[in-house]
Structures are given as structure tokens and as C-alpha cells.
Structure 1
Amino acid sequence: MGDITPRFGNMKALLGLVAGAGASYGIYKLISFKRNKKNATGENPGVKGSQQSEVKIQPGSLLARVSGLDVICPRPADTASGDIIHQSPDNLEPQHLKMLLSCLKTSNNPTDRCRILLTLGNSAAFTVNQNLIREFEGIHIIAGFLSDPAPEVRVQTLNALNNLCMNIQNQEQIKVYVPQVLELIEMSPVNSDLQLGALRLLTNLSVTDKHQHLLKESVTLLLSLLVVSNEALQVQTLKVLVNLSSNPDMMDDIVQAQAPASVVLLFDERTAPAVLLRLLTFAGNLKAWRPSAQVADELRRKQDCLFRVMLDESSQLHGRLLQLLSHPDGDIQAQVARILT
């Protein structure tokens, strides 16, 4: 495994000084916001320059609250809409898809862009349309709107890419936008549709182990989000974490990721069953990992890493698992018993 070096040098000190899950997540976002960001998409000639600008810090996000930076509020969307092709998604012909993509590239109206993206996303539920959109260079056209100034357009962009991602060949093109998708999670308001849409896309992209390595440095972000989000976002975050932890090749990166100590507090009978079941699946995957004595000793010296929080003998997890043996949900009881045996 070699030397274990944290992704952010001062994360350990900051997380140790500030108590509370919300504060830890806010500090994570402050630190990650300072790093140099690279545009993974390159230049899309069909998207105007304003749509290629950096994602703005959204009002209501934890970053906006703790950073003291000026927040740029989005302008109200223009209510006028252009001509949109109205067809049932399963009745769209190839020329319709071409026309929609052409309209999307030239539209100046956020409402029109949302409608076009919604139509394209619905059409992408069908395999034939998934292939056609890829062949028409539609994936890159659609992904160009991940940086659209209108949040609602970015949400529809994520939804369209999510459906397109069900196609293995499409994943090869969509994977290059993972850094932008992670950036949207970091910079968007907590519990927003943007975060939920981004996590759904990452869930589909991480179902197989082919592209999971692209998320190995995002584990701290996911764990930090897990302890401050609502039930819907927790479930989606855990789907990604369960996918990643199912791959033994990802385990070294997962266990050394820095994690808020409060993640253990989620192992509680008051946690929503849908969240707790997935959390226990994640914990079971971690428990199945067997490090060498040398690696375990090295991880024990990293106070804030996930190994210390959930796997080390000093962790509170074991005691909390014992308490969950009396949980009223039989599935949860069975999952806990499997972990403890």
C-alpha cells in the first residue's frame, strides 16, 4: 500500500479543531474550493461562453455561510420559451433528436433549454435513442450545460446524462465529466436537486468497477455530505459508497479517506431504515477488508481517517452495532448480526 498521504494537507488539523458535522462539511468545502480546478470538458463550440463559466457559489450552501465570500445570486429565468418539438419520447425520430440538439446549442432562453433537455432525457430512456444521441455528438453538447448559469438547466442536464449513462458505450464519454459533477456537489446548496441529480449520475457510473477509480478521491466529500444531508441525499450518497466499497481494489483509498467522527452517530435506531440498511451494507463491506498488521498500524496513526472512525478497536462502532441488535426492523437486525459474526 505504501505511504498514505491525505489529499488535503491541512484537513486533519481543521477537522480536529472544529466540532459538529455541519462545520466539518463546511471546512471540507472551503479547503476543496481553494484547489486548482481543471475543465474536464474542453471547449464546446455549441455552448456560449457564459455557459462555460465556473459554477457560482449558490445561496444557502454551507460554503456561502462559512466562507464570507460574496454570493452571486442567479437572475430570474426568462419566462418566454421558443418552439420545442412536442413528441412522445418513444416516437422521436432521428431527425427530431438532431433538431433538439441543434436548438439546444442555439437557445438563449433557460426555460427552452430546460424543456429541450427534459425531452432529450426522457428519450434517452430508450436504448435506440441513447445510441443515436451519442452518434450525433449529443453527449458532449448536453454535458456542456453542466456549467449553465441557471441551476434548473444544470439539473436537467444531470438528469439527461443519468439516463444516457445507462448505456455502457455512453459511459466512456460521460466519465470525462466526473470532475465537473463532483464540483457541482461541492458548490451546490446542501440537499438541493443539483446534489441529488449529481449523485444519481455517479451511482449509475459506479455500478461496475470500470470507472470507480475516478471517484477514489471523492470519499471524504461523500462521507462529509452523508452526515449533514437529508434522508433522500443520504440514501443516494450511500448507494455510491456501497458501490465503491464492493470493489476490493478501492478499499485502500476508502479506509484512508478522512471522515467526520460523527458518521458513527448514524448507526442509531432513530436513523431512517432506508439509510441505516445501506449504512450497514457499507460497514459490512469495510469489515470484510483485512489489512496487514503494518498497514493497520500506519492507519492508526491517522486520527481522522475512516479506518480509525469505523474499523479500529478504538471505534465506537462495535458498541453501536450491539445496540442495533434490538432494532424493531428484522432486516436491520439480520444485517447487524452478519457484521458481528
Structure 2
Amino acid sequence: MGDGSVAPRLGNMKALLGIVAGAGASYGIYKLISGGSFKRGKKSVTTSESPGVRSSQPGEVTLQRGSLLAKVSGLDVVCPRPDVASADIIHQSPSNLEPQHLKMLLSCLQTSNNSSDRCRILLTLGNAAAFTVNQNLIREFEGIHIIAGFLSDPAAEVRVQTLNALNNLCMNIPNQEQIKVYVPQVLELIEMSPVNSDLQLGALRLLTNLSVTDKHQHLLKESITLLLSLLVVSNEALQVQTLKVLVNLSSNPDMMDDIVQAQAPASVVLLFDARTASPVLLRLLTFAGNLKAWRPSAQVADELRRTQDCLFRVMLDESSQLHSRLVQLLSHPDGEIQSQVARILT
């Protein structure tokens, strides 16, 4: 692609942003940029009551009413082949985006002054990052640091899309080495955002992927109290996501000392109740099972008993209500919950 063709196309990226919404639309950008051309003059798209919208120029494609291209007013598009319908564009995969298109999106992200545009670009990059080849390319283009820079964007919806994009990029192990430096900022978003917000959910999803292996779990050892506190005030979706992180951390014996010493709200044990949603309760029981499998020395246990409000006293000490609550759950109607409780008690 020569310099003469890139400049006008970059100049029209703002118009493209109107159609960047979802996985199919991101491929639409690829098709429009690589196969079509944008005319300098702005022309109107004539809409009639007939089944399609036809271009006034001979040889151009007929657009279906309600299709993606028909809705883009003011954008003069010449499709590469008359037999390619707009429906084919919106159903294509973002895995077909080529390296130069990812570069263009990252460049536009850095220069955009419009929060809606930034959201659409981040959404497209996030969808593209669901594919390994794009995960690697975005890293090689320094895209992770560019994207992560928007964790502090003033618009909440931009921060949400940033977290979603980083979450997909985090599925790639080499990418985690770059993403891990933003853990303090992600934790701050959880702490400062409204409870049950999309920001908290997106941040927890990212931490879940980052904590699947034990390599980066130590970065979260200071956040146990935050996670436990969130657990008792959030809705079901956030509770499930919080517990996914806690289960990951508690699966690592090297993290157990930090977990049991963390300050914990006494009301955590109240969640071990038949009225708690089953997806939450199952993960709570997994977390409790991991804690119960930990065997401290008598000296360590005595020290923990003297630590006020720590998780050990709330859930593992002899004075804890957890045991009696687990016994009550043996009669839970869900057989899987019964089995988990039985394993913990034996």
C-alpha cells in the first residue's frame, strides 16, 4: 500500500468509526479500506421505498435497505466487487484484519478526541484480540501500552472497553508480561468505581485471566481484603467474578499465608446459605475447600487467632460459624453443592 493511498484513507477513518461496532463490523473496516476507496466529495445516499438503495453511478453496487453500508450516511463507498453484499461484511471475522489495519486503528486511537470514537476503536481492537495472531501483532506494535493508557480516560465507557481489550490480550502469555504492570491501576479502578459497575466487572475479568497461573498471583496479595469486601456487597455477577479470582489465588499454597492473614468482613460466612445463588455458592465452597486444605502449624494458628478480623478467624478458627453453616448445607437441593460440602466436612 503506497503513501498516496494511505493518507486519504487515514483522513477518512473518522467516518469509518461509525461502522466499527462488533466483530463483524471490524472486518467491515478491513473490507472498506482494502477493497474500496473514499471519494473526496461528500455525497448523499439516496433512500427509496424500493427493496434496495442504489448508487447513482453506473456499475456500483445495490445496497440492501437497513444494511450496514446503507446506514452510513455521507460515506461514499465503492465496493470491490458488485456481487459482495453488505451482509457478507458484517458477518466476517475480525481475524481477517491485516497488520496495517491494526496499526491504523492504534494510530487513530492515540489521536482521537471523541470518546465515542475511542470506544469503537477499542471495541474493534478487543474483538480482534480474541485471535492469537492479532494478540501477537498488537503486542509487537506496542499496542498493549497504547491501549492501557486509556485506563485513566475520563470517560467510564472508554475505560470499560480498555479493560475488555486488555482482557482478551491477556489470554496470550507473553502479553501478560506487559499487562502485569497495570495491575495496581486495575485494582484502583475496582476500589474507586461504583459497586456492581461494568468497570468493576471488566477489571475482575482481567484479574481472573492474569491469575490463572501462579506466575503473577503475588501481584494480588495486597488485594485480598478488597476482594473479600467486594464479595459481601456486590450482585451475583460480580460475586462470581470475584470468587474466580479468589479461587485462583487460594489454589496456590504459596499465597495461603497472605490470604488467611487478610482482614475479612465477618459477614462473609453469611453467604454460606441456601438462599445464596448456586453459581456463587459453588465457588464459595471451592474457596472454602482450598482454605480448609491448608494446615498451619500450631504456632502460626495461635498467631492468627490473635489477629483481629483476619480471614483465619472468620472462616477457619474453631470459633467460626462456618462449620455449622456447612452442616446445614448438607440438605441443599443441589446435589453438586451437597457433594462439595461433604468433601469439606470429611
Structure 2: distance between partners of 1:172 and 1:119:
23
Per-residue CA deviations over 1:270-313 (Å, capped at 9, x if unaligned) read: 00000000000000000000000000000000120000000000
- How big is the shift at 1:91? 1.4
Matches within 5 A, 1:31-42: none
* Aligned residue number for residue 301 of structure 2: 296
Structure 1: distance between partners of 2:16 and 2:169:
24
Per-residue CA deviations over 1:216-237 (Å, capped at 9, x if unaligned) read: 0000000000000000000000
* Aligned residue number for residue 113 of structure 1: 118
Matching of residue 329 in structure 1 with residue 262 in structure 2: no
Per-residue CA deviations over 1:201-225 (Å, capped at 9, x if unaligned) read: 0000000000000000000000000
Matches within 5 A, 1:109-148: 109-148=114-153
- How big is the shift at 1:90? 1.5
* Aligned residue number for residue 270 of structure 1: 275
AA partner of residue 165 (structure 1)? C
Considering only aligned residues, what root-mean-square deviation do their CA atoms show, in Å? 0.8
Matching of residue 162 in structure 1 with residue 167 in structure 2: yes
| Higher RCO (C-alpha under 8 Å, 6+ residues apart) | 1
Contact 1:113 1:153 (C-alpha < 8 Å) held by counterparts? yes
Secondary structure of 1:176's aligned partner: helix
Matching of residue 153 in structure 1 with residue 158 in structure 2: yes
AA partner of residue 340 (structure 1)? L
AA partner of residue 113 (structure 2)? N
Q: Which has the larger radius of gyration?
A: 2
Contact 1:107 1:113 (C-alpha < 8 Å) held by counterparts? yes
Percent of residue pairs identical:
91
TM-score (norm 2): 0.75
Match 1:83 to one of 3, 11, 16: 16
- How big is the shift at 1:82? 4.8
Runs of 4+ in 1 over 3 A off after TM superposition: none
Matches within 5 A, 1:206-221: 206-221=211-226
Contact 1:82 1:112 (C-alpha < 8 Å) held by counterparts? no
Match 1:258 to one of 245, 263, 270: 263
Match 1:195 to one of 193, 200, 203: 200
Structure 2: distance between partners of 1:270 and 1:229:
15
Match 1:181 to one of 179, 186, 194: 186
- How big is the shift at 1:174? 0.1
Structure 2: distance between partners of 1:228 and 1:194:
16
Matching of residue 283 in structure 1 with residue 285 in structure 2: no
- How big is the shift at 1:83? 3.3
Moved more, 192-201 or 84-93: 84-93
AA partner of residue 108 (structure 1)? N
Structure 1: distance between partners of 2:257 and 2:208:
20
How many equivalent pairs are there?
261
Matching of residue 339 in structure 1 with residue 344 in structure 2: yes
Structure 2: distance between partners of 1:82 and 1:334:
57
AA partner of residue 163 (structure 2)? L
Structure 2: distance between partners of 1:99 and 1:208:
33
TM-score (norm 1): 0.76
Matching of residue 244 in structure 1 with residue 249 in structure 2: yes
Secondary structure of 1:229's aligned partner: coil
Structure 1: distance between partners of 2:143 and 2:203:
19
Structure 1: distance between partners of 2:261 and 2:113:
46
Consecutive unaligned residues of structure 1, counting only runs of 5 or more, are 1-80
Secondary structure of 1:207's aligned partner: coil
* Aligned residue number for residue 67 of structure 2: none
